[in-house]
Amino acid sequence: MNLALPIALVGELNPYGQNPRFALYHEPAGASGDRLRRILGLPVAAYEDLPKYNLCVGFWDPVAAHARAMEIRERHRFVVALGVKVAHSFPRGPRMWESREDQYGVVLALPHPSGRNRIWNNPGEAVLRARRLLDQHWPFVAWGSAA
């Protein structure tokens, strides 16, 4: 395990194809990656520097998602699982807004940043809650530094 690698953000599917560069991509404006960047309150450069993954490409496959989740766990001490399906792909995956520690580190489950997710409809409360949880586990990132 490489503990020098920072927090990793993990989503479900990559609508932009198999290129890992486009996992949770922040463009165009309004895409899930852009919404996530704004929820986290990070400038584009800081968001681009964070490792980002999607568990599947094309369609959801629970077996492939679990295998990919295990690969990510072995590389990153702190993982943010975005959405229920993603969180449950990790062993003993946490419930939303909770974290679980295992032999690799911590998995924190946050709601998926999709525009369809009603949790983010009350952005003030939900965003502050997400940033507080992230700051508890990974205070070295300036969550909320960009409006």
* Predicted local confidence at residue 147, as pLDDT: 57
Least confident range of 5-9, 68-72, 94-98: 5-9
How far apart are the C-alpha atoms of 83 and 21, rounded to whole Å?
20
> Model pTM?
0.91
Which residues, 6 or more positions from 5, have their beta carbon under 8 angstroms from its beta carbon?
51, 75, 76, 77
**147 domain-assigned:** no
User: Does residue 28 have a cis bond before it (omega within 30 degrees)?
Assistant: yes
* Predicted local confidence at residue 90, as pLDDT: 95
The CATH number that applies at residue 44 is: 3.40.470.10
Q: Which two tokens stand for residue 142?
A: 């300036």
Tell me the pLDDT tens digit for each residue of 45-54: 999 999 999 9
Among 56, 66, 129, 61, CA closest to 92: 66
**98 domain-assigned:** yes
Say if residue 135's pLDDT is above 80. Answer: yes
Containing structural domain, residue 36: 8-137
Helix (H) or strand (E) holding 37: helix 32-40
**145 domain-assigned:** no
**60 domain-assigned:** yes
Question: What's the number of domains the chain is made of?
Answer: 1
**115 domain-assigned:** yes
